[in-house]
Amino acid sequence: MQEIGEKPFRAKQLFQWMYQKGVRSFDEMSSLSKNFREKLSKGCILTTIKEKKIVKSGLDKTIKYLFELNDGNLIESVYMIEGKRVTVCLSTQVGCPIRCPHCATGLMKFKRNLTTGEIVDQLLWINSNSKMPITNVVFMGMGEPFLNYENTINAANILNSECGQEISARKITISTCGITTAMYRYAEEKHKFKLAISLNGTTDDQRNQLVPINKKYSIKELLEASLFYTRKSHKKVTFEYILIADFNDSHSDARRLVKLLSPIPCKLNIIPFNENRHVTYKCPSEETLEKFIKEVYRAPFIVTVRRSKGVDIAAACGQLYTDEIHS
């Protein structure tokens, strides 16, 4: 504000209009003078995304959004309701450089990082078009958040701000596939948001196939970084384990998983694979799933099972984009 000749208090006013009230036009900023609004409209933009496609689930209340950015690139966001909890899953990159073969986003080429504005705009747009306000945020959409570290953290801070959406830090989760250098930085900077890690394998050979970045940051290094984070932050880390038929769903996998994670204050979230036509991996049978769960329930840490939402609308990130560009 000072750089354009305005008084500093205008910054808070503008911030609240943008991030708390979520206005889509400078004309809606009634507490600002007409001259100031005209100045802003000539040199600034308020909207970085526009609706491309919306798909609603017939099985639950999940809604998937395909947004077009100002440069023509496409990204996805997902809106999910479970009781009083309303969660939005946000993307942080266009495509993903990790290229995990079980993920539809992995089929896309990495194009670029999203700006802070593009990340936040996903939530603002969805909130302004939803009946129930968003209570929880997960940075688990397209892309690897820790490879767009600065913009992801900035976006989380805006959403958490008392002048913004005021979403509790305890209800904001940043997910990583295991960029350990960023995990150490995240721990040292003492961010208040939750941390989730996509593990998905119990051996390096197994995880190398499913999460290619494991060739650079091994399971051993990942667990060491996780333990450092828990000691530094005094918070538990959540490990995500996608269960894939005949790949990582054996009794031996279950036992190794418990052994690997037992030394770390953590929570384990088991997610049966969300099948889609773009990859060949399959979801385990209910019998296999029950046996696996029975074994890991013996662990000294909390274990939950998360069923995929929006299965009928390809709600796993990357699927709607892939369908769109190939249609």
**Residue 313 pLDDT more than 80?**
no
Q: How confident is the model at residue 60 (pLDDT cuts 50, 70, 90)?
A: confident
**Residue 320 pLDDT more than 70?**
no
Q: How confident is the model at residue 309 (pLDDT cuts 50, 70, 90)?
A: low
Q: Specify the number of domains making up the chain.
A: 2
Say if residue 31 is in the same domain as residue 56: no
Say if residue 39 is in the same domain as residue 163: no
H or E segment to which residue 207 belongs: helix 204-210
Q: What is the pLDDT of residue 61?
A: 84
Say if residue 2 is in the same domain as residue 134: no
Say if residue 170 is in the same domain as residue 42: no
β-pairing, 63-69 with 49-56? Answer: antiparallel
Say if residue 21 is in the same domain as residue 57: no
Residues 168-192: what's their mean pLDDT? 97
Average per-residue pLDDT for the chain: 92
> Which residue of the set 3, 44, 76, 287 is catalytic?
76
Least confident of 56-60, 137-141, 177-181: 56-60
Q: What is the pLDDT of residues 112-126, one digit of tens each?
A: 999 999 999 999 999
Q: What is the pLDDT of residue 327?
A: 45
Say if residue 146 is in the same domain as residue 226: yes
Would you call 76 a catalytic residue per the annotation?
yes
Say if residue 14 is in the same domain as residue 146: no
Least confident of 75-89, 152-166, 313-327: 313-327
Would you call 317 a catalytic residue per the annotation?
yes
> Which residue of the set 89, 96, 283, 317 is catalytic?
317
What range defines the domain where residue 97 resides?
48-325
Say if residue 194 is in the same domain as residue 309: yes
Say if residue 26 is in the same domain as residue 54: no
Residue 154, SS3? helix
Q: Could you give the CA distance from residue 312 to residue 300 in angstroms, rounded to a whole number?
A: 35
Q: What is the pLDDT of residues 7-44, one digit of tens each?
A: 999 999 999 999 999 998 999 999 999 999 999 999 89
- The runs of H, that is alpha helices, within 6-46 are 9-15, 34-43
**Residue 318 pLDDT more than 50?**
no
Please report, for the domain that includes residue 40, its CATH number.
1.10.150.530
Q: Could you give the CA distance from residue 57 to residue 54 in angstroms, rounded to a whole number?
A: 10
Residue 194 or 129, more confident: 194
Give the residue carrying structure tokens 């979801």: 283
Say if residue 42 is in the same domain as residue 53: no
Residues 92-111: what's their mean pLDDT? 89
Please report, for the domain that includes residue 99, its CATH number.
3.20.20.70
